[in-house]
Structures are given as C-alpha cells and as structure tokens.
Chains A and B, each alone.
Chain A
Amino acid sequence: MRRLLLALALAVATAGSALTQGGPSAGASGAASAADAPPILVARQLAESEQLQVGQIVRMSPHGSGADARSYRIQGIFEPTPDPAKLGTVPRRVRMHLPDLLTATPEGRPAFVESVTVGLRNPADAGAFARDLGSRMPGLSVRPTGDPEAGGPFVVLQRFHLAIAIVTIIAATVFLLALTIMLVEERRATVGVLRLIGLPTGRIIVQLLIEGVLIAGLGALFGLLLAAASERFINLFFQWKYDTVLVFVHVTRDVAARCVAIAVPLGVVSTVTASWLMLRRNGLRLARR
C-alpha cells in the first residue's frame, strides 16, 4: 500500500460522512476483523477530541445517516497541515490509501468530497501538478498549499496585513514626528546657546541628524529584537489557543529589512524637520526658554 504516492485526506464532515468509535481492540466492533480493517491515520485534534487511540477500530460512513459504514483500524495519529481558513475548528480528518477511499465511496453516487490534499514526493512539482490537474479536470480548483499568493484567503489576509501596516506606519510617523519635535524642543536652550556661541545652522543640523540616525537605528534594532523575542510567545499563545501548529508570527530577513528601511529614514526626516523648524528661530529666543 505504501507504494502509492498519494496520501489522501478525507474531509469526513464536509463529505457528510459519519464516524463512529468501535471497541478498544481489533475486532471489537464492525464487520471486519482488526487484521482485515484498512489502516487509517487520524488527525491529532480529532483523536484528542474523540479520545481515539492507535489500534482502535472505527467505523466510517460516507453518509451522514451512517449507512454503508465500514471499519477501519487506526494505525497512527498525524498532525494535519495547518489551514488558517479553518482556524479554531477541530480538523475532522483521516488519511487513507486511495483504493480504500474508492471502496468507501459508493459507485455511481455523486462524490461529496470537498477537498483532497495531495502530498507530492517533490514539493517543487506542486505548481506543475496543479496546472496539469486543473487542465485535465475543468471546474476543479487546484492550488499549491505552499504558495500563499495562490490562495484566495491568503491574498485577502495579505491585503489585510498591508492595510494594517499602512495605517500603523502613518500613525507611527505622526507619533514619531510629535515625539521628535518634543525631544528637539527639550534641547532648544542648548541649541540656542550653540547658535549664540557661533555654531552655524548646518553644523547643528548635522549634529542632530547624526543623533537622529543613531536613535532611529537603535529604535529599529530594539523593535526587531522585541519582535524576535515576542515572536515565540505570540506563536506559543495562539498555537495553544487554537490547538494548531500554524506559525502566526515569523520575522523574516525581508520583514526586518523593510522595518529598518522604513524606520531609519522616518527617524531622520522627522529629526531634520523638527530641527529645521526650531533653527529658524533666533538663537537668543531659543536660549531663553
């Protein structure tokens, strides 16, 4: 049976199937003996939810009524591929070999299988496989699960994230500018004295610019370290909350580079703007705060 390339997941609930638990040992229930019952793998969450154990015999039916039920032996527990679209629900999934699935599906009746996950030996073939299968079976939606761009929900999620990011950046910019103006204003007396002593405006702006770059750079670094530190905790919390291995937060190099690319110029621009606004004033007025 292992020679089969495909491991299929039968979405029991969506197929309108019924799953009933048999006895604790082989042959305790069902028509088939433990030795004859086809092996299946059960999703971990389903096993925990229904208190299923390896070696147990379960009966599954392709109908909601439980008709035509067949016995299967639980050979193992598997961790299902996380699906953000089904977060918070117990994945009622089992895996079985394709001939067993065909046997379980009554011939001549419409198939109620809503989705089939196909595992390939070489994941790199996913795109070609999806294109090939899609062209052979018009109407079937085939998408590689490893490509977030390919899935509707992922695209929506990504746009949602982008919208949040834009709003956050705009809010952060306003906040940063206000903060920088306050920080620069705090130093107006010092800047005023420097102007009175005879330091040119450009010299002071360069000084503040260097400080702005350093502060923005350190701020970006701190933000990244905070993100990296909180990444683990956020993932642990939501993985616990939704009982999934889905990774919710992942600070990649690309994300880090984008953060620095946005934070440093923002910090510099806000510092220079705040400094320039202040330096337009007379040095003596600045010194007399």
Chain B
Amino acid sequence: MTTATQSAGGPGTTTSAAPAVIEATHITRVFPMASGQVTAVADISLTIAPGDHLAIRGPSGCGKSTLLHMLGCVDTASSGTLLFNGRDVATLSDRDRSLLRLTQIGFVFQRFFLLPMLTAWENIELPQAESGVGKAERRERTRELLDYVGLGKRAGHRPSELSGGEMQRVAIARALANRPRLLLADEPTGELDRTTGDQIAALLDRVNADGTAMVLVTHDPSLADRCQRVLTMRDGRVESETTR
C-alpha cells in the first residue's frame, strides 16, 4: 500500500535534508590467508547520499560483496575511514555496530536468509521487537509492510510455504521494518527467474523512490541499469563510475 506521503524506509516515513549516509574514504580490506595476504578491496572512496540508487558491478571475486559488507557494517575496513551518518564505524563497538545495522541499515540477500521457523509476519516483526518498538506500533508497521510488498494474505506462512519471489518480498519488508536510511541488496534477483526478478527489481525501485538510499550488488545488467549510479569494480578497485 503506497501513498503520496510514503518516503524513506518504505511507507510511512518522510525525507529530510540529512548528511551523507555513507562517506568512505580510501577504504581497503585485506584478508590474511595461509598463502599470504589477499586484498579484496583496495583504496575505494565513495559517498552515498540519502535517496541514492547505486549499483556495484564487476566479475566474481572483484570485491563487490566485501565492499557491500563494509558499507553495511558487517565487516570493517583494514584501513581508510568509513563514516555512517557522520560517525566513524571503526570506533564503534560490536554492540553499537549491531545497533546501527538493526536501526539504520536493511539487508536483502540473494538467498533471502529468512528465519525458517518464523512466519512472514514474525520475520518482519523481529527487527522491530529487537529495537524496542511497541507491540501496537509493530503490528501496524508489519501489516503496512506486508501490504507494501503485496503479501498481505501470506502473513501467517512460513518461508517453506512461500515461493522464491515471495520470500524475497518478505526479506525486503523485513529490511525496511525499522525504516532504515540505507538498504543494501546483494544479488537480490540472483535466485529468481526473469519475471519474478523483474517484480523484485520494481519493488526495490519503489523502495528507493520512496526515499531510501540503496546499494545493489549485481551481475545482472538490467538490474544495474535501473540505478542512477553504476560502480564497476575489478580486482578490488573501482574501474569506472557512471551516473545517469
């Protein structure tokens, strides 16, 4: 259910003039391996403003996902600075980074990563409950999100009872549950057929149009072409960046 007033974080939020969501400066990620160090991401600087729609493309192993994980505070940079809402992520404790993910960042993954023992409703309600949202507000928000992704009638179904496209819709609704400033999607259509993938892409476009900054990692050129900015990576570095 979308209305003219819907904006950042899906339905029911408003856009405001805010600082950059992400400011990454010369970030590098090195993984120590038995055979020596492997540099997955090398010296990347990037700014993501509220409402941005960015796609990261590149061949397998070029560092796209590693970069996405650093942007989402799942991983930390070996060097360089990454500011989220103006706060240096490297200085945050594990608990604060977790809180940041819980309240400010939404994740959508190729393999959905829904909790199999919970229903669609419960999966969407979980992040809200963990961030302390009251029961009544949770109920209203969850209902609103299920309608937003077109699954109002599948609330009581478990992931095993949903199709791939429906699971990804639930995952998107869960990612939007706490009205994040940034939505990160790692190959969100990778496990879906073309038609379902297009539907998910359209849904993600709508989320972005409603004001949520979005970063997509994808191999799919058609999905990347929907974004305002496309960052192409190779060997851990930015090869090119195009803006439409």
Question: Which residues of A are at the interface with B, using a C-beta cutoff of 8 A?
Answer: 189-190, 192-203, 282-284, 287-288
Contact = CB atoms under 8 A, between A and B. Distances in A.
Interface stretch (B7-15, B22-30, B100-108, B146-154): B100-108
Contacts of B101: 196-198
Contact of B127 (A189, A195, A198, A201): A198
B111 A284 contact: no
B159 to A, nearest CB: 11
Interface string B75-100: 10000000000000000001100111
Interface of B: 69, 74-75, 94-95, 98-103, 105, 107, 109, 111, 113-117, 126-127, 130-131, 174
A193 B174 CA distance: 12
B103 A282 contact: no
B75 A282 contact: yes
Given A198-B127, A202-B95, A282-B75, A288 B111 contact: yes
Nearest to A197: B127
A202 B116 CA distance: 22
B112 to A, nearest CB: 9
A206 to B, nearest CB: 12
B74 A283 contact: yes
A198 B103 contact: yes
B130 A287 contact: no
A198 B115 contact: no
A67 to B, nearest CB: 85
A197 B102 contact: yes
23 contacts: A192-B113, A193-B113, A196-B101, A196-B107, A197-B102, A197-B130, A198-B98, A198-B99, A198-B100, A198-B102, A198-B103, A198-B131, A200-B95, A200-B99, A201-B95, A202-B95, A203-B98, A282-B74, A282-B75, A283-B74, A287-B109, A287-B113, A288-B111
Nearest 8 CB-CB pairs, A to B?
A198-B102, A198-B101, A200-B98, A200-B95, A193-B113, A198-B98, A287-B113, A197-B127
Given A282-B74, A282-B75, A283-B74, A199 B113 contact: no
